[in-house]
Amino acid sequence: MAEVINMPRLSDTMEEGTLAKWFKKVGDDVKEGEILAEIETDKATMEFESFHDGVLLHIGIDEGSTAPVDSIIAVIGSKGEDISSLIKGDSIPEVKEEPKVEVKEEPKVEVKEEPKVEVKEEPKLEVKEEPKPTTQVQTKSESNERILISPLAKKLASEKGIDTSLIKGTGDNGRIIKRDIDSYKPSNYGHFTQPKPHVKESSYEIPNNTMRKAIAKRLSDSKFSAPHYYLNIEMEMDNMISFRQQFINTQNIKISFNDIIAKAVALSLAKHPKVNSRWYDDKILFNEHIHLGVAVAVEDGLVVPVVKFANSKDLPEINLEIKDFAERAKNKKLNPSEIEGSTFTISNLGMFGIESFTSIINQPNSAILSIGAIIQKPIVKNSEIVVGNTMKLTLACDHRTVDGATGSLFLKTLKDYIENPVSILI
């Protein structure tokens, strides 16, 4: 008996999928466990395997096309099997024409035209044009002053978009000539030249893919449903810089500042579970486990792989996991389980030189931390101005679950960990 293959729901937010690639064609034998197709979701591209043995009898969606979840993408059965009843939904229903209603035309009323009155035109007066001069071109400015300009100079002025009324000619009788156009420099006070004739406006467009549409929908829902507010804090980073270098030298593992901050965030969340929460209409859920989402930029947008139980992992483990997620995210090879279930998210644009920014909360989280660049600048230490390194963090909170004092206490704890990073290892 033939089996219908539907578009699977490969993530909790997936509403439609794009068929990126077929590995089989109609008429091919298919075995259970074989890769049937590659499906692009709103977060990643997944290999989709067959759960049935048989022959691929029907393909319901072409490569590159998008279809909603649960729509028919293929049918697998026995060779020669009649599947017309299964794929009937894919066909275009026959539209019956409604019977035409005969409408009788009303008799036309004949209207007799009145005789036309012949109007004789008055004879036109012939006006002879004066001959145009061949050696120079005369034009009039807005002030009705005559402008003497040579044909070549006029052509150059037109190409360069120059108003000839602003130029003083140096030729005979003040005539504008080529060298006047070449040496002309526009005034700084408001006479703007027109663009050259060969300069044209241009643009191009690309269709929104599944990931971009999902990002737009989820962030719009978050921004307009969760009442965001923002808390900013600046931290000294000199101890962090020294700690990282010592860790690399002793452990021979090149951890990043982002890895250390991720660990510090996880430990801070363990002390402030109200920030590690989720809003429901009838309750607030406080998560005791800490699944840290780490925003990763990819070509088509943004994905958020999740470091699960981040507070129980050491720095080398966090480093390896984040690095692996980032590499596979760029190739769209993350599994659905690796991009779901976050309880808090961090987003770092410091590597791009961004000093501070705000992020939209990655729902169903209650908060997201934006991490800026490490900046060297004058700071006050022990009542003296010295050169130091600082970093700005911005915490975006959902006011339904995280009050201002709650978010502030979380940042205070995080500041203690970051400015005294040895405490992370204790």
Whether residues 230 and 169 share a domain: the answer is: no
Tell me the pLDDT band of 97, cut-offs 50, 70 and 90: very low
For 247-270, what is each residue's pLDDT tens digit? 999 999 999 999 999 999 999 999
Asked whether residue 342 is assigned to any structural domain, the reply reads yes
pLDDT at 31: 86
Whether residues 7 and 65 share a domain: the answer is: yes
Asked whether residue 9 is assigned to any structural domain, the reply reads yes
Among residues 52, 228, 289, 399, the one annotated as catalytic is: 399
Whether residues 173 and 295 share a domain: the answer is: no
Residue 22: enclosing H or E segment and its boundaries?
A: strand 16-22
Whether residues 215 and 186 share a domain: the answer is: no
Question: Is residue 95's pLDDT more than 60?
Answer: no
Closest residue by Cα to residue 26 from 75, 99, 96? 75
What is the domain extent for residue 159?
137-204
Whether residues 255 and 379 share a domain: the answer is: yes
Question: Is residue 52's pLDDT more than 90?
Answer: no
Tokens linked to 239: 């101890």
Tokens linked to 350: 């410091």
Separate counts of helices (H) and strands (E) for the chain: 7, 20
Tokens linked to 246: 């010592």
Q: DSSP assignment of 170-182, as one string?
A: -SGGG-B-HHHHH
Q: Lowest-pLDDT range, 41-55, 216-230, 379-393?
A: 41-55
The answer to whether 289 is a known catalytic residue is: no
Q: Lowest-pLDDT range, 57-66, 127-136, 185-194, 377-386?
A: 127-136
Tokens linked to 417: 């960990």
In the predicted model, what is the mean pLDDT of residues 352-380?
Answer: 96
Asked whether residue 251 is assigned to any structural domain, the reply reads yes
The beta strands (E) that lie in 152-264 are given as 228-236
Asked whether residue 319 is assigned to any structural domain, the reply reads yes
We report the CATH number of the domain holding residue 291 as 3.30.559.10
pLDDT at 108: 52
Whether residues 41 and 141 share a domain: the answer is: no
Tell me the pLDDT band of 26, cut-offs 50, 70 and 90: confident
pLDDT at 134: 42
Asked whether residue 263 is assigned to any structural domain, the reply reads yes
Whether residues 220 and 189 share a domain: the answer is: no
Question: Is residue 1's pLDDT more than 90?
Answer: no
What helix, strand, coil percent values describe the chain, rounded to 5?
25, 25, 50
For 130-145, what is each residue's pLDDT tens digit? 444 444 444 444 445 6
Whether residues 173 and 79 share a domain: the answer is: no
We report the CATH number of the domain holding residue 42 as 2.40.50.100
171-177 own/partner pairs: CB under 8 Å, 24+ apart: 173/148, 174/148, 175/136, 175/148, 175/149, 175/150, 176/147, 176/148, 176/149, 176/150, 177/149, 177/150, 177/152, 177/153
Those residues with Cβ within 8 angstroms of residue 361's Cβ, 6 or more apart along the chain or in another chain? 222, 226, 228, 345, 367, 368, 396, 397, 398
- Name beta bridge partners: 369: 346, 395
Give the count of domains, the chain.
3
Question: Is residue 91's pLDDT more than 90?
Answer: no
Final residue belonging to a domain, choices 42, 68, 83 = 83
Final residue belonging to a domain, choices 83, 116, 147 = 83
Asked whether residue 111 is assigned to any structural domain, the reply reads no
233: exposed, middle or buried (C-beta count within 10 Å: 0-12, 13-18, 19+)? Answer: middle
Final residue belonging to a domain, choices 83, 101, 118 = 83
Closest residue by Cα to residue 83 from 58, 52, 50? 58
> Is residue 326 classed as helix, strand or coil in its secondary structure?
helix
User: What is the Cα–Cα distance from 150 to 171, expressed in whole angstroms?
Assistant: 9
- Name beta bridge partners: 234: 392
Average predicted confidence (pLDDT) for the chain: 83
Q: Lowest-pLDDT range, 17-26, 62-71, 112-121, 312-321?
A: 112-121
Q: Are strands 277-279 and 228-236 parallel, antiparallel or unpaired?
A: unpaired
Q: Are strands 16-22 and 66-68 parallel, antiparallel or unpaired?
A: antiparallel
Q: Lowest-pLDDT range, 40-44, 92-96, 367-371?
A: 92-96
